């Protein structure tokens, strides 16, 4: 499975080992996102992630496949959690294997920039003064647009 949606914490060690397997390609890059303990000046206790399961699976599979074609990946994987996630726990993991470091690293960055705006998840921060929906970030849109324009980071 190259895409998994799950409520359970991501076992990043196992995911890395599975991606590398018996015969790794020359370059392996990964990214792990964790729940931040603050949002601007406000402390965060936990993150609630709502999602649209059927669409999330489809979108993540498509963007992973597009990254694989664009960067010539040998292997790739995306794991995204949903549900109530306490601070310092994993939210998302992406991994890419390629012949060269540029492709592996860029593929991870591209997959992350794309899923931030295209994957149907919505975050709600739980803090001392209650819960509030996280607004989408203009920077995320700009980062995504660069990939459309063919620019690299």
Partner 1 sequence: MSITIKLFASLREALGESEFQLELAAIPVENEASSVINVASIKTALSARGSQWHDALNQPNLVHALNHKVVYLDAIVADGDELALFPPMTGG
Interacting residues with partner 1 (CB under 8 A): 33, 49-52, 54-56, 58-59, 80, 91-92, 112, 115-124, 133-137
Taking the complex as a whole, the smallest distance from the CB of residue 133 to partner 1 amounts, in Å, to 5
CB of 36: closest distance to partner 1 in angstroms?
12
> Is the CB of 71 or the CB of 93 nearer to partner 1?
93
- Report which of 74, 63, 128, 126 is spatially closest to residue 97, judged by C-alpha positions: 74
CA 86/CA 66 separation, integer angstroms: 32
Q: For residues 123 and 146, which CB has a smaller minimum distance to partner 1 in the complex? A: 123
CB of 11 to partner 1, least distance (A): 19
Task: Supply the minimum distance, in Å, between the C-beta of residue 68 and partner 1.
Answer: 19
- State how far the alpha carbon of 14 is from the alpha carbons of 81, 111, 119, 137, 153, in Å: 16, 20, 24, 31, 28
Q: Are strands 27-34 and 90-98 parallel, antiparallel or unpaired?
A: antiparallel
Q: Return the H-helix or E-strand segment holding 129.
A: none
Q: Which is nearer to partner 1, 45 or 141 (CB)?
A: 141
SS3 73: coil
Of 20 and 117, CB closest to partner 1: 117
């Amino acid at each position: 499975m190259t895409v998994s949606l799950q409520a359970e914490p991501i076992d990043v060690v196992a995911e890395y080992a599975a991606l590398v397997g018996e015969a790794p390609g020359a370059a392996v890059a990964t990214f792990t996102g964790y729940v931040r303990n603050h949002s601007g000046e406000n402390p965060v206790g936990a993150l609630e992630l709502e999602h649209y399961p059927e669409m999330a699976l489809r979108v993540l599979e498509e963007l992973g496949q597009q990254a694989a074609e664009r960067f010539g990946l040998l292997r790739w994987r995306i794991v995204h959690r949903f549900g109530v996630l306490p601070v310092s726990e994993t939210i998302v993991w992406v991994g890419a294997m390629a012949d060269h470091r540029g492709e592996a690293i860029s593929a991870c960055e591209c997959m992350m920039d794309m899923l931030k705006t295209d994957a149907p998840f919505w975050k709600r921060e739980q803090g001392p003064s209650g819960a509030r929906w996280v607004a989408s970030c203009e920077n995320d849109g700009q980062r995504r647009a660069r990939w459309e324009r063919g620019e690299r980071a």
